[in-house]
Amino acid sequence: MSSVSEKDKERLAQAAKIFFFCIQDLASFTNTFIDLFNCNMNTQILSVTARQDCNVNNFFEQMVQVVKEMQSVVDAKHAKMQKEPLYSKIATTLFSMVEKDSNLMALQQSAKELFKNNFEPAIVSLLNSSHILGSLETSLSLLMKCPIMNLQLSDFYRKDIKEQSDATTSEESMSPRPSENTITDTLKKLAEALKTENAKNTIESAADQLEQIVKTIGPNLEILKTVTKTMETNISELKKDSNE
């Protein structure tokens, strides 16, 4: 077997492993985002799962469904805000207090109470103006057209199971890496799923395609990281302001 062939096999195996952990990260960041969204928007959107036996297409379907649900909530709340702007609520409260000859400190306290623990306007404005959810849905929908959707995550990489249960054998827990047979099966499945017509080297072609898919997932991860961090920062600042 030529060195080039071995190099291509290593590339495909590495791309498969990276893809596996990209999906794990995608699920993790998405669930953090969902938790923040549910906590502050009074929703009950379900978390996504990315088990090793999970079908890739099913995982992306979960992701798209979550994004659509969030977008629906944001659209509804934004429409309500447009009909009943928040500043009108503040004005009504303040004018009412002015009529009662309240002092400035009381007016400020009233405004803080109005915003206390209510971060919906800030979150709605962030998600609506940035079009983040729409971008995510478009990108995820395009990824679902990739030819690997019918595979399971375990077809890409099988993470060692260590100390998961008392039934785990010492041989399993000490295994440093997947067996050669497992790697060979993985490469065969990926090469078959990603095969293209007239490809002289199916392993090389599969590696090229999977590396490109991994690159496409990258921006989705960055979007989720950014929006989650931004929401956490904004909420923290709003809480600080309301408590001062």
Per-residue 3-state assignment (H helix, E strand, C coil) for the chain:
CCHHHHHHHHHHHHHHHHHHHHHHHHHHHHHHHHHHHHHHHCCCCCCCCCCCCCEHHHHHHHHHHHHHHHHHHHHHHHHHHHHCCHHHHHHHHHHHHHHCCCCHHHHHHHHHHHHCCCCHHHHHHHHHHHCHHHHHHHHHHHHCCCCCCCCEHHHCCCCCCCCCCCCCCHHHHCCCCCCHHHHHHHHHHHHHHCCCCCCCCHHHHHHHHHHHHHHHHHHHHHHHHHHHHHHHHHHHHHHHHHHC
Residue count of the chain: 244
Question: Up-side HSE of residue 99: CA atoms within 13 Å toward CB?
Answer: 6
**Of the spans 82-86, 116-120, 144-148, 224-228, which averages the highest pLDDT?**
144-148
Query: What is the C-alpha separation between 199 and 191, in angstroms, rounded?
Result: 11
Condensed to tens digits (0 to 9), the pLDDT of residues 34-61 reads 999 998 899 999 999 999 999 999 999 9
Residue 206 token pair: 């599969």
| % of the chain beyond a pLDDT of 90 | 45
> Residue 214 is encoded by which pair of tokens?
């991994």
87 vs 126: which has the higher pLDDT: 126
Residue 2 has pLDDT above 50, yes or no: no
User: Which pLDDT score, from 0 to 100, does residue 155 have?
Assistant: 93
Q: How far, in Å, CA of 30 to CA of 225, rounded?
A: 9
pTM: 0.76
- In the structure encoding, which two tokens stand for residue 138, read together? 């478009």
- Please report which confidence band the pLDDT of residue 239 belongs to, taking 50, 70 and 90 as the band edges: low
Q: Answer yes or no: is pLDDT of 96 > 70.
A: no
Tell me what the pLDDT averaged over the chain comes to.
79
Q: What's the pLDDT at 242?
A: 54
